[in-house]
Each structure stands twice: as structure tokens, then as C-alpha cells.
Amino acid sequence: KAGVTQTPRYLIKTRGQQVTLSCSPISGHRSVSWYQQTPGQGLQFLFEYFSETQRNKGNFPGRFSGRQFSNSRSEMNVSTLELGDSALYLCASSLETAFNEKLFFGSGTQLSVL
Amino acid sequence: GENVEQHPSTLSVQEGDSAVIKCTYSDSASNYFPWYKQELGKGPQLIIDIRSNVGEKKDQRIAVTLNKTAKHFSLHITETQPEDSAVYFCAANQAGTALIFGKGTTLSVSS
């Protein structure tokens, strides 16, 4: 079974731009959650999507948004990029929930904002 | 909301020694506590998890213990090997929402 696939692997953007990251979950997994990983803050929960609906949201500004398609693939978007948005963005898929069962993580998208 | 603290932030051991990583959580409603291992350039991978109705769980060289009264749980790795070198994250679930992760422990095993 293929794992969680995230594209692109690396991104370099400048302040003020916007970016879209993509995640393909494991086949049959309906929950997709996103995390931001930075050296200082560790892994921080952004949001979770289930059946094309955002089910839970972390404490991030509205510049961070996402969506999920009918095939469970998910995208996240960051608008008006700031230097502090530089981070590794991880996508995780699971069968039903993002808080009570094993999460399968992708290798992440490394975003650098200059 | 849930807050998870993890110690130590770095841990160096000799091959064959044991390693212990400790975490505390704040939300008494948390009932699921996984541990993830992250190797360089990869996403975190689940290595063991425990639910609140169990006090201890083992899987070969890895064990996790949970003390609900004190709100802390620990990861124990015995007979460490160089391939155990990685960053380890504990997590606790915030009821109905998401996993809240500790800030990680970088484990280095030298041969």
C-alpha cells in the first residue's frame, strides 16, 4: 500500500506570496490532518479534514486554510506569507480520526520564506 | 487546552544502555498517548501507543508506562542500538480534536 505523499518536497517563496501544498493520503483513509513543524515549537496542529469538511482547527491565523476533495486528497494554502511561516509542513492520514488512532505521516514539504 | 511537556530535549547513551524519555500532560480527559519516532528527512512514525485503561505496554525493546494520577507517561528503550538514534515525540489527545505533541527528544546512541 502506498504511503502518504506530499508535494512538492521543497518550496522557496518570498514574503507576501501565497503557496499551496498537496497531500495524498493512504487509500481508504478519510481523515487528513496538517501539522507545522519548527525547531522551536515542535509539531503544531493546523487543521483536520474529514469527508471534505474541516472538522477541527488549531490556533493559526486565517491565512492558513485548506480543503479536501472527494477522493480524500487535501491541499493547504498559506496566503500573504511571512518569514515566520518557514517550516516543515506535515500531512498525516488516518482511517477515521486525527486524535484517537495511528497517524501516518508524509515526509513533509519544507517551505522557506525569504 | 492540552499541554504536553517532554524531557529531556537531548539524550546521549552508549549502545546497549537504556534510554528513558518522560512526558507530562495537563488535560485529565486525555485518553490516548502515542509515541512517534522521526528520522532525518522523514515524517514521524508511530512506534508505540497506550490508552488510559492500561498502565504499561511493551513491544520488544520498547515499553511505555502511564500514570494517570500524576498525568505523566514515559518511553523506555532497552538495549539501545545506533539505529535508535532519532527524534522522539510524545503526544496526548485533546478530547475530540487533535494530538498535541511534546517538543521532542533527540536521542543519540553511540557505538
Q: Tens-of-pLDDT digits for all 111 residues of chain B? A: 889 999 999 999 999 999 999 999 999 999 999 999 999 999 999 999 999 998 999 999 999 999 999 999 999 999 999 999 999 999 999 978 899 999 999 999 999
Alpha-carbon distance A1 to nearest alpha carbon in chain B (angstroms): 16
Task: Provide the number of CB pairs (under 8 Å) joining chain A to chain B.
Answer: 59
Mean pLDDT of chain A: 96
**In this predicted structure, what is the pLDDT of residue B11?**
98
Q: Give the residue among A9, A30, A6, A16 at the shortest CA–CA distance from A78.
A: A16
Which chain A residue's Cα is nearest to B31?
A: A100
Within 10 angstroms of residue B42's Cβ, the number of other Cβ atoms is: 13
- Contacts B96 to A, Cβ<8 Å: 56, 99
Alpha-carbon distance B102 to nearest alpha carbon in chain A (angstroms): 7
Percent over 70 (pLDDT), chain A: 100
A57, with CB counted inside 10 A (0-12, 13-18, 19+), is: middle
Test A4 with B43 for CB contact under 8 angstroms.
Answer: yes
* Whether the bond into A8 is cis, omega within 30 of 0: yes
A99 vs B43, B44, B94: nearest CB: B94
Percent over 90 (pLDDT), chain A: 93
Test B96 with A99 for CB contact under 8 angstroms.
Answer: yes
pLDDT digits (tens, 9 = 90+) for A1-46: 789 999 999 999 999 999 999 999 999 999 999 999 999 889 999 9
